Amino acid sequence: MEREKLLNKVVKLFRLGDASRSHTTEGELLAAITKARELMALHNISMVEVEGSLDETKVNELRIKVKEHSAYTRKGKFASYDHPIMTAVSVLTDTRVYLKTNNGYQSCMFVGEETDAHIAGELYTVLLPSLRKFTRSECGSGWSKNHTDYALGFGRRVVERAQESVKKEESNQSMALVVTKKKEALSQYMNKLSLVSARHKSRNYSNEYYRGYKDGTKMNLSFTKNMRK
């Protein structure tokens, strides 16, 4: 019964994220789809299960929307500790990431080959809650500057581990030409967007940052364990 309730909630969120049925803003539509995908990732709900409760035509439309955005959307701006996880995911999935703001909502956009971008979106909705869970486990309930510092340190180490993991894979592969062409295509796409780099404010870190950096080795970055088909 509990799983049935979760499934019904996911279906309602997808329907809310259907622009043809809703009069809400684009940001609210994206937020609804993001929440649906987050619930699916956290509770291992497959799209096959959702299909049974949605019209097939609408399922296909929703799939296209998810693939197009491959994003996490929230009201307001992302927290500073969200950004290292975005970076780590983009490194692991061979995608690029940028932020899109619309009517008070901000979206994390992953750009890349269709499958890569889809995986990036799914992986992000798993790793971000995991980061928060690790932080609260070590720093206690609530959220303070110490929590943020710990999360930033943790995230920094996760990024480094992602980069180390990719370097190992690249040294073992023989598809250098394919990888080069993919990176060229991504660069051309990103250049067309004409994005302006955000300015990052300097920050004085507490000891929690370095404790978080040390604990950053604890997060599991395996695709197969984090994401179930």
| Three-state helix/strand/coil letters over the chain | CHHHHHHHHHHHHHHHCCCCCCCCCHHHHHHHHHHHHHHHHHCCCCHHHHHCCCCHHHHHHHHHHHHHHCEEEEECCCCCCHHHHHHHHHHHHCCEEEEEEECCEEEEEEECCHHHHHHHHHHHHHHHHHHHHHHHHHHCCCCCHHHHHHHHHHHHHHHHHHHHHHHHHHHHCCCHHHHHHHHHHHHHHHHHHCCCCCCCCCCCCCHHHHHHHHHHHHCCCCHHHHCCC
Range picked from 4-13, 51-60, 185-194 for highest mean pLDDT: 4-13
Comparing CA positions, the residue from 130, 132, 114, 126 lying closest to residue 44 is 126
5: left (phi over 0), alpha (psi -120 to 50) or beta: alpha
226 or 193: which leads in pLDDT: 193
Say yes or no to pLDDT of 93 above 60.
yes
pLDDT at 107: 86
Among 142, 143, 28, smallest CA distance to 81 is for: 143
Give me the pLDDT at residue 227, please: 54
Can you give the pLDDT at residue 140?
95
pLDDT at 60: 53
For residue 100, what are the β-bridge partners?
Answer: 107
Cα four-point dihedral sign 10, 14, 17, 23: negative
Residue-wise pLDDT for 148-167, tens only, equals 999 999 999 999 999 998 87
The pLDDT mean for the chain works out to 79
pTM: 0.67
Which token pair is 39?
Answer: 């619930």
In angstroms, the CA 145 to CA 12 distance is: 36
Instruction: Label residue 147 by pLDDT band (50, 70, 90).
Output: very high
7-36 mean pLDDT:
76
Query: Cα dist. 90→69, 73, 96, 98 in Å?
Result: 14, 16, 6, 10
Mean pLDDT of 115-127: 84
CB 131 within 8 A of CB 155: yes
